[in-house]
Amino acid sequence: MSVSPFVPHDFTIPQTLETAEFRLRMLSVHDVVKDYDAVMSSLEHCKTVWGGEWPEGLTLEQNLIDLGWHQKEFQTRRSFAYTVVNPGETEVLGCVYLLPTQKRGYDAEVYLWARQRELANGLEDRLFAATRAWLASHWPFQAVAYPGRKLSLAAWQALPDEPK
C-alpha cells in the first residue's frame, strides 16, 4: 500500500492567515527569541496541549533546533508549523501545528496554543475558530482532528490507526 503525501504536490501551501488581531506565518529559526519567550511564559498551558511534560527544561538552543526542524518540515511539505504573531510582529502569541495522522478516518491533526496570559481574554478560542475556518476554506483536508479540543487527548490516542 502506498502512502499518500500529506498534501498534494500541486497544492499551494497558504503562507499566512491574517486577522485584525494576529497573523499566522511559517515558524522559522528567525523566531527563536520571541518564540522561546512565548513558550517559557506559558509552560503550564503548553503541557496541556499535548498532555506531556514539554516544554519543561527547554533551552534556547534546543528551541532553535526545534524551530529549524519545523521550518524544514514545512519546506518539505511534511507538516506545517505556523507562528502566531501580533500584527506588528513584535510578539509571538502562540503556534498552530498541522500534522499528518495515522488515525483512521482523519487526514490531519491540528494542535494550537496561545500565550497563557491571553487565555482569559479568549484569544485561544478566537485562534481556534479562525484556524478551523481557514483549514476548511483553504486546505485540501476532508477530516481534520483537533485532539484536546473536539475530542479529549485520551480519546484521540485510543482511536485506531490506519492499517499499514
With respect to residue 143, please indicate whether it lies within any of the assigned structural domains: yes
With respect to residue 72, please indicate whether it lies within any of the assigned structural domains: yes
Edge to edge, the sheet with strand 92-99 lists: 16-18, 23-26, 80-85, 92-99, 108-114, 144-145
Read off the CATH number of the domain in which 148 is found: 3.40.630.30
- Mean pLDDT score, 95-106: 96
DSSP β-ladder status, 92-99 and 108-114:
antiparallel
> Which pTM value belongs to this model?
0.94
Looking at residue 21, its pLDDT comes to 97
With respect to residue 163, please indicate whether it lies within any of the assigned structural domains: no
With respect to residue 8, please indicate whether it lies within any of the assigned structural domains: no
Looking at residue 151, its pLDDT comes to 87
Look up residue 79 and give its amino acid: S
Model confidence over 104-144: pLDDT tens digits? 999 999 999 999 999 999 999 999 999 999 999 999 999 99
74-80 long-range contacts (CB < 8 A, ≥24 apart) are 74/13, 74/26, 74/27, 77/5, 77/6, 77/7, 77/13, 78/6, 79/6, 80/13, 80/26
With respect to residue 108, please indicate whether it lies within any of the assigned structural domains: yes
Q: How many domains does the chain have?
A: 1
Average pLDDT over all residues of the chain? 94
Looking at residue 2, its pLDDT comes to 41
With respect to residue 7, please indicate whether it lies within any of the assigned structural domains: no
Q: Which residue segment(s) compose the domain that 66 sits in?
A: 16-156
Is it the case that residue 164 has pLDDT exceeding 70? Answer: no
Model confidence over 38-92: pLDDT tens digits? 999 999 999 999 888 888 899 999 999 999 999 999 999 999 999 999 999 999 9
Is it the case that residue 1 has pLDDT exceeding 60? Answer: no
Q: State the cell numbers at 149.
A: 479540543
